[in-house]
Chain A
Amino acid sequence: MLTRTWVLLVTLTLGSAVFAELTDNRVLMLLTIFGVAIGKGHVVAARFMETTHARPAWRTLYHSWIVVIGLLLLAGNLLAPAA
């Protein structure tokens, strides 16, 4: 199970990096890289940090942080003024 989780994380990492390198669509690229980061964050928290066995309060706080920080970075980059 742990090794499969690692394979998934590595695949997502490589996929998002290659996509970011190849695409010219800035909005799609930002949506992808931060969306993938949020997804990977949930996987790391659930499988490696074992939030699934933590108190519900910690589980909620940790997974909420992943979503909030991911969306904040996405919005901050998407809406950033052009030079």
Chain B
Amino acid sequence: MIVQPSAAPRHPARDQPGTEGIWTFVFIDMIVFSLIFLVFLSEKWRVPAVFNAGYVHLDFKFGLANTLVLLTSSLFMAKAVEAARHADGARVRARLALCMGCGALFGLNKVIEYQAKIAAGLNPATDSFFSFYYFVTGAHFLHVLGGLVFVGHCFARARSDAGNPDYLRKLENTGLFWHFVDLLWLFIFPLFYLAGLTR
């Protein structure tokens, strides 16, 4: 009797990356941002004129640049995790350094954007649109800064711990959080910077 080999699994079996804790934490963060987005939309419905006037002051090129920077940082993070699975400490360090460089670039871009807005008299107290703009992008920016701390920690430990399963788990957790920060921005970018381009 000829036994036919079973079809190869669509995704080869591998452990779930990261811990249950980080998957739970990220999902709770998703829910929190969902509520923030809901409140944003309800306010937009309440005072559409204020929001339409607010969009005009945002330059989509800032948002676009930051989207590209975050996507690139995510690539380096994913490649760092890949290198850690091969216990290649030098590559992990190099890729985490590039990831942090992108994170720093995002921060610099955000600070320049905030400075320009504040210099033009557009601060969180200006109107409800700018309250949301600073609150949502500020909360996201804090996530980037928090993520950078963890990426920096993984970078510092990469040389000595790259082959250690605990280190890999830690790096996967950091990666999951970092990619979530990127994922959030994928929705913040069209919501603030693109949706107002035509009215």
Contacts and interface: CB of A to CB of B under 8 A. Distances in A.
A54 B16 contact: yes
Given A2-B75, A21-B60, A55 B16 contact: yes
Given A34-B190, A81-B45, A17 B34 contact: no
Interface string A36-65: 110011001101111011110010011001
Interface string A9-48: 1100110110011011110011001101100110011011
Contacts of B176: 49
A73 B179 contact: no
Interface stretch (B76-84, B147-155, B160-168): B76-84
Given A13-B71, A29-B198, A70 B60 contact: no
Contacts of A24: 198
Decide if the interface of chain A is mainly helix, strand, loop or mixed: helix
Interface residues of A, number: 50
B71 A9 contact: yes
A51 to B, nearest CB: 9
Interface string B121-139: 0000000000000000000
A3 B68 CA distance: 14
B17 A73 contact: no
A81 B30 CA distance: 27
Contact of A80 (B37, B44, B186, B187): B44
Contact of A53 (B17, B45, B68): B17
A42 to B, nearest CB: 10
Contacts of B64: 13-14, 17
Given A26-B199, A34-B190, A66-B183, A17 B60 contact: yes
B198 A44 contact: no
A26 B33 CA distance: 25
A44 B180 CA distance: 9
Interface in B22-72: 23, 27, 30, 33-34, 37-38, 41, 44-45, 48-49, 51-52, 60, 64, 67-68, 71-72
A20 B17 contact: no
Interface of B: 11, 14-17, 23, 27, 30, 33-34, 37-38, 41, 44-45, 48-49, 51-52, 60, 64, 67-68, 71-72, 74-75, 77-79, 82, 175-176, 179-180, 182-183, 186-187, 189-191, 194-195, 197-199
